[in-house]
Amino acid sequence: MKIVIANGKHEADFVINMFKDQTKDLIVINSDKNFADYIVKNNKVAVFVGEPYKRFVLEDAGTKNADIFIALGEKDADNYAACMLAKKEFNVKKCICTVTNPKNVDIFKKLGIDSVISSTYLLANSIKTASSLEDVLQTLSIEEDKIVLTEIIIGANYRISNQKIMDINFPKNATISCIYREPHVIIPNGSTIIKPKDKLLIISTPSEQEKIVKFIQNKK
């Protein structure tokens, strides 16, 4: 399976790490040279530096006939443009993009994007408080919403803060896939201590997401 991952920061880092051992044909494109260097060093994969909404960049990267194209950039319009270019000009079978504006979910789908993901859109029915929305930075749904990646910043007053993972009775149907502790990315184990300001990337099913967010944000 040929998979293209276009732009994005720590979400891209996670998705690359997840897919790199599952496919021999992983193409990574990133417009940020510094972050591209980080991806190369951290994941041992080649990165094409350039804007993925430009034809020559997709052509040079070998996007033609890819099975999946995932656009994770910060700008909705850029993600849309990259996906449509990949789909119409490079015969990509399925395009997925993230958006910051939830109103663009339905719009982009109607315009031809196969799957459009918005953190606000996915969390609206499960997270009601403003404080939760500030802490939950990003949700990325993969494989038709079977897997949800939730990213949460740990507050100093959270019960799990300064605790070892093995001691917090973390929900069974979820996994802390990695911890971003600036400037490091940590692959955790049971002995890893969760610290204030850590950014946790958690994999779960959509049905478990609300329970996990409440568990993590439970205060001392």
Q: pLDDT at position 119, please?
A: 55
pLDDT digits (tens, 9 = 90+) for 70-122: 999 988 889 999 999 999 999 999 898 888 887 888 888 888 888 888 754 44
- Say which CATH number the domain at 86 has: 3.40.50.720
Q: Do residues 134 and 95 both lie within one domain?
A: no
Residue 103 lies in a domain: yes
Q: Are 27 and 57 in contact (CB under 8 A)?
A: no
Residue 125 lies in a domain: no
Q: pLDDT at position 99, please?
A: 87
Give the predicted TM-score (pTM) of the model: 0.58
Kindly state the average pLDDT of the residues 172-177.
79
Mean of the per-residue pLDDT values for the chain? 82
Rounded Cα gap, residues 140 and 147, in angstroms: 8
Q: Are 6 and 70 in contact (CB under 8 A)?
A: yes
Q: Do residues 18 and 69 both lie within one domain?
A: yes
Beta bridge partners of 184: 181
Q: Are 28 and 46 in contact (CB under 8 A)?
A: yes
Q: pLDDT at position 147, please?
A: 62
Residues contacting residue 111 through CB under 8 Å, at least 6 positions apart: 80, 84
Residue 106 lies in a domain: yes
